[in-house]
Amino acid sequence: MTTISSASTAFSGDDPHNRLFGPVPDVAGERGYGDDHPPRVGFFTDTSVCIGCKACEVACKEWNTLPMDDAEGNRAQLGLTGASYDNTGMLGANSWRHVAFVEQSRAVDLPMPTVGAPGAVGGPRPLEDPPVVHPRVPASATTAEQSAPQQTPSADREIRWLMSSDVCKHCTHAACLDVCPTGSLFRTEFGSVVVQEDICNGCGYCVPACPYGVIDQRQDDGRVFKCTLCYDRLTDGLQPACASACPTESIQFGDLDQLRARADARLAALQDKGVEGVRLYGHDETDGVGGAGAFFLLLDEPEVYGLPPDPVVTTRDLPSMWRHVAAGAAMVVGVVASAFVGRRR
Amino acid sequence: MTAGEAVPGAGWRRADGAPAQDRERHRRSGGRAPRPGESVVGEAEFASYYGRPVIKPPVWKTPDVPLYLFLGGAAGSSALLGALAELTGRPALSRVAHLTAGGGALTSVAFLIHDLGRPARFLNMLRVFKPTSPLSVGSWILAPFSALATATAGAHLLGRFRRLRMLTGVGAGVLGGPMTTYTAALLSNTAVPSWHEAHRELPFAFAGSAMAAGGGIAVACSPAEEAGPARKVAVTGALIELGAMHRIEHGHGLVSEPYRTGRAGRQLRAARACTVTGTALALTAGRRRVPAVIGGALLAAGSVFTRFGVFDAGMASAKDPKYTVEPQRARAAGRDAANASAEEAHTPS
């Protein structure tokens, strides 16, 4: 009988306050890998350059031989969501990469032409008044780098498409890993979280435990599946299939420290150019999951992409839960015992 | 979590926009009073990805899992009741309680196995022990408990092995307390908003519900001259259940809402009606059999409805993204506001 958990030191170890959440400098080392284990790796997904081509989804399905399914996870079903160009719908047991496709619009105050006598004051203004970036280049052609990416004007509306390739976050404190009762989920030497399919017994406890809603049960099988960060490829020195397939380098794979530095630089660059609403998501080690192994540069609020705004690993409150469970059990014993005290009736 | 410009949405709306957002807002029942800790910020702006859930709803089967919760709880309190009845010389009460415990334990294991798919998977649960997994801890409580409770019930049915029966009965009784409450940790140690937020009250609601059920069944099935302790247990349990459920249904702002609306709301109202009527009947029955039987059965039915209601409320809260997004936004905004005011306090003006 062994104890496998990212949080077990909270119950047995030195620092009872800081092992169920918070930063962990060496997440693989903490799990018993020696000093020579490889550095922690992850994904940085820069959604500002995502073109929604779904090459990552296809590459993932191909490499991992995932079965076809529809947006509700029904196997061997072809279905259209009807809501958008996104017919994958969600991350699930058979879709380990999912390209979210958000179509947004907003009203713009265009300089409208007015009617009046030629030459009159405040006469007709030209219809076209694009901000000129370079004499020979229309502004619309360079929007990706000049103002906001993925954005086009349309009549008095501006339309933009936000595309973001979502994936398992490989959290520093992974709720799925902590609640798994069989030890089927484990932390790899690369710091990622992987399900051992032959040990999973289909209890489904990890499914509602994940604050991001990533891991899911394969219907008609009962076992759960999720992104492995291509563990099999990593051990052979390759990078994950999705990152290899991404044509725009929206999905970047590498050592997590380097990726974080690169992400900070990219964030600063976009902010300098005045891109609205740009932010990093999942990179902060002090957040509710201790920082994610897969983090994102987003152009809007996380919930717009279907991501939780402030996820917290559920085991953070576990000490309190166990205390209340113990108090409840003691109360039952007390109530039943006291019912037998006193005169017989 | 987020860095950079924090203008919510920066004017952008979903392309089929405003109506969808209005729809989400309209569904919210009137204003709620801000609780301490979240009063700092106004109502959070709510957006979602085509109304799809953010977290995955539990894949546990209904009615398997709610019935498993009920049977495990009833068996737990019955085992304790049976052990103490045996030790204090109440043979009829002890027999009824031990049979309930054994039957409940066996059936709950059957439901658990049916939910898992095949029997070998239950044994697989015992290959590790993990304090961070209430299901692992629960398996280690459930396995010995059901073995001991079933052995005790079997010995009662055979009418032999009296000394052994005392031993297994006491063993099952010791595990009975944890049996009634571990399932609360099982539910609340998930990202399901309405379960997680109620993690302080759920163990007491389940403990009360288990006592109401175990006591109620014992009141209904045992002779009046021995049923006194069972009646006390049932009534005390029912009152605890009512009190804890009231706090769950009203104490957590938005995430309490699923406990009052839809199917879960109807089930929990039925639970309350059953429990209140059952308590009144059990208290006034005296030595009359019929009201005692009806009262006991109503208390058990109330416990069943409570488990189904709590289960469904969690499912509803997981399926609607607003229960995930809005409380998290409010929490993040409250933290930002607190940080900002702390910074202001440190900056000399």
Test B199 with A104 for CB contact under 8 angstroms: no
CA-nearest residue to B9 within chain A is: A300
The pLDDT, as a whole number, for residue A343 is 59
Segment 79-138 of chain A within 8 Å of chain B by CB: 81, 83-84, 86, 89-90, 100, 102-107
Residue B118 Cα to chain centre, angstroms: 25
Average pLDDT for chain A? 84
Phi–psi pair at B293, nearest 5 degrees: -65, -45
The pLDDT, as a whole number, for residue B45 is 54
More confident residue, A179 or A31: A179
CA-nearest residue to B335 within chain A is: A310
Q: Which residues of B touch A310 (CB under 8 A)?
A: 1, 328-329, 331-332
Test A204 with B58 for CB contact under 8 angstroms: yes
Test A324 with B17 for CB contact under 8 angstroms: no
Residue B88 Cα to chain centre, angstroms: 31
More confident residue, A333 or A276: A333
Q: What is the mean pLDDT of residues B14-18?
A: 63
Q: Is A335 on the interface with B (CB under 8 A)?
A: yes
Q: Is B114 on the interface with A (CB under 8 A)?
A: no
Q: Which residues of B touch A84 (CB under 8 A)?
A: 50
Q: Is B340 on the interface with A (CB under 8 A)?
A: no
Shortest CA gap B302–chain A (Å): 18
Q: What is the mean pLDDT of residues B262-266?
A: 96
Q: What is the mean pLDDT of residues A196-214?
A: 93
The pLDDT, as a whole number, for residue A114 is 54
Q: What is the mean pLDDT of residues B209-225?
A: 95
Rounded Cα distance between A176 and A184, Å, is: 10
Q: Which residues of B touch A279 (CB under 8 A)?
A: 2-6
Shortest CA gap A63–chain B (Å): 25
Q: Which residues of A touch B169 (CB under 8 A)?
A: none
Structure tokens given for B270: 């039925």
Interface contacts (A, B; CB < 8 Å):
311
The predicted-structure confidence for B21-54, as pLDDT tens digits, reads as follows: 444 444 444 444 445 544 444 444 578 899 999 9
Q: Residue A116 — very low, low, confident or very high, per pLDDT cuts 50/70/90?
A: low
Q: Is B89 on the interface with A (CB under 8 A)?
A: no
Test A329 with B180 for CB contact under 8 angstroms: yes
Rounded Cα distance between B154 and A312, Å, is: 46
More confident residue, B18 or B192: B192
Test B180 with A180 for CB contact under 8 angstroms: no
Closest CB from B49, B191, B210 relative to A211: B191
Is the distance from CB of A51 to CB of A247 less than 8 angstroms? yes
Percentage of residues of chain A with pLDDT beyond 90: 61
Is the distance from CB of B183 to CB of B206 less than 8 angstroms? yes
Q: In what order do the strands lie in the sheet with A251-255?
A: A251-255, A41-46, A294-298, A279-281
pLDDT exceeds cutoff 60 at A13: no
Test B128 with A104 for CB contact under 8 angstroms: no
Query: A274: phi > 0 → left, psi -120 to 50 → alpha, else beta; which?
Result: left
Segment 295-334 of chain A within 8 Å of chain B by CB: 298, 300-311, 314-315, 317-318, 320-322, 324-333
Shortest CA gap B348–chain A (Å): 28
The predicted-structure confidence for B283-319, as pLDDT tens digits, reads as follows: 998 889 999 999 999 999 999 999 999 999 999 999 9
What is the identity of the amino acid at B160?
R
Nearest to A291 by CA among A47, A23, A28: A23
Q: What is the mean pLDDT of residues B194-219?
A: 96
- This model of the complex carries an ipTM of 0.89
pLDDT exceeds cutoff 60 at A6: no
Closest CB from A183, A279, A318 relative to B128: A183
Test A336 with B80 for CB contact under 8 angstroms: yes
Is the distance from CB of B248 to CB of B202 less than 8 angstroms? yes
Q: Is A223 on the interface with B (CB under 8 A)?
A: no
Test A160 with B329 for CB contact under 8 angstroms: no
Q: Is B78 on the interface with A (CB under 8 A)?
A: no
Closest CB from B1, B116, B211 relative to A309: B1
CA-nearest residue to B190 within chain A is: A209
Segment 123-142 of chain B within 8 Å of chain A by CB: 124-125, 127-136, 139
